Amino acid sequence: MKKILYSLLAMSLIGCTAEDKISDESQVMPSITHDESINHQSPLDNYLYENIEKPYNIRILYRFTDEETSRSYTYTPARYDKSIEFVNIFNYLFLEPYIKITSKEFLKEHSFNILLLLGDPAFNADGSKNVGLASAGVKIHLTEINNIQPNSIYWLNDNFLVTLYHENAHTWHQAIRFSPTYEQISGNDYKGGNWVSAWGAYGSIEHLKAGFITTYSSYNRDEDFVELLARYIVYFNADLDGCDCATTDQTKWGRNSSNTDYQDFPDGYDAEAYNTWRNKRYNYVDNSQWNEINNESAKIWQEVLKIADAKIRDTEEYTGKEKIEQKIAIMKNYLSTTWNIDLDALRAEIRSRYPYVVGKDFEGNEVPKKDFTGLNNN
């Protein structure tokens, strides 16, 4: 079973274990047939069948079911009201953006089949917390449903959405393989089952120098691909998210600033303007949750790549930053030419919805906040 691990010590440990790897020859689970004998007693049951399962072949199970749930952990059932909140968020931040950029038919043919909602997280023997388990591109267990923070975009990204974007991308490469050139970029540094221990203690940046956006990216080429895609969507990006602060005037770069707070900023940006822009990330944080700015999805793409701007070994031709940039270029070309998907357009559509989740836009202006508590509120 693929384990998506959000360790209490290492939030970057997300992904699939070896036993869940689907080979190139494997077939995705066939469509799930609705069981007409099931008595749909609640409005949520009927809503799920009519609006998600029937049109998109995605079955969301919020009632606890032993036959579908992994028995490796002890779980609690998802609450009915919290399941409704999740379903509305799933619609708003996953289904609707993907349909807008692709189509209803595309989503039906190229998405996971089963989504199991579980109440609370399970813990591993080492103290790490499982917020989800998944069989690559087929069935996903999402935990923490009972702890959902429906109007915190950082919480939703870290606990649910990164996993959904990751798993959905598996269905694309399982259908049509991306260029083998992608794997060759970091070919000598994939770690397989040793990906946890291979990069040293928590906080190590060695994986970035090797061209991996997370440690789990180094498991294999497929996990590398989907991990990178998911982080590209959820990380802030100075070039795509309204900074408008790029400059070739090196005297304005952070490295040349007398302000020590600016000196670690990425090159190529007016440090003063860049700092103003990056601080706007706080506008997506509730006043009582300032620590959310430390969530993984509050990271900035350019700052992560600055850390990666070194070689894993002296004999390497490229830095980790250059390798990640090469991978993104291959990914975008693959998605465009194979699936007619503009990754930047998909990213922009998803992120255009953030203000209405939080109730404030990126500038801090109040906007109508989504109420996810009732069905059909989206």
Residue 283 falls inside a structural domain: yes
Residues 266/303, Cβ–Cβ less than 8 Å: yes
**Assigned token pair, 53:** 């399962």
Q: 257 and 124 in one domain? A: no
Residues 6+ apart with CB under 8 A from 289: 152
Range of the domain at 323: 178-235+299-341
Pinpoint the alpha helices (H) of 57-137: 80-90, 96-101, 104-109
Residue 360 falls inside a structural domain: no
Residue 375 falls inside a structural domain: no
Count of structural domains, the chain: 3
Residue 351 falls inside a structural domain: no
Residue 254 falls inside a structural domain: yes
Q: 331 and 255 in one domain? A: no
Domain harbouring 67, CATH code: 3.40.390.70
Q: 162 and 199 in one domain? A: no
pLDDT attached to residue 204: 87
pLDDT attached to residue 83: 97
Average pLDDT, the chain: 86
Residue 364 falls inside a structural domain: no
Closest CA to 340 of 202, 227, 172: 172
Residues 6+ apart with CB under 8 A from 277: 238, 241, 242, 243, 244, 245
Residue 356 falls inside a structural domain: no
Do the strands 129-135 and 2-6 form a parallel or antiparallel pair, or are they unpaired? antiparallel
Q: 310 and 190 in one domain? A: yes
Q: 226 and 184 in one domain? A: yes
Q: 211 and 128 in one domain? A: no
pLDDT in tens, the chain (378 residues): 444 443 333 344 444 433 333 333 323 333 334 444 445 589 999 999 999 999 999 999 998 765 555 556 567 899 999 999 999 999 999 999 999 999 999 999 999 999 999 998 766 655 556 655 666 557 898 989 999 999 999 999 999 999 999 999 999 999 999 999 999 999 999 999 999 899 987 778 999 999 999 999 999 999 999 999 999 999 999 999 999 999 999 999 999 999 999 999 999 999 999 999 999 999 999 876 778 888 999 999 999 999 999 999 999 999 999 999 999 999 999 999 999 999 999 999 999 999 999 999 999 999 999 999 998 744
pLDDT attached to residue 39: 52
pTM: 0.87
pLDDT attached to residue 138: 75
pLDDT attached to residue 222: 96
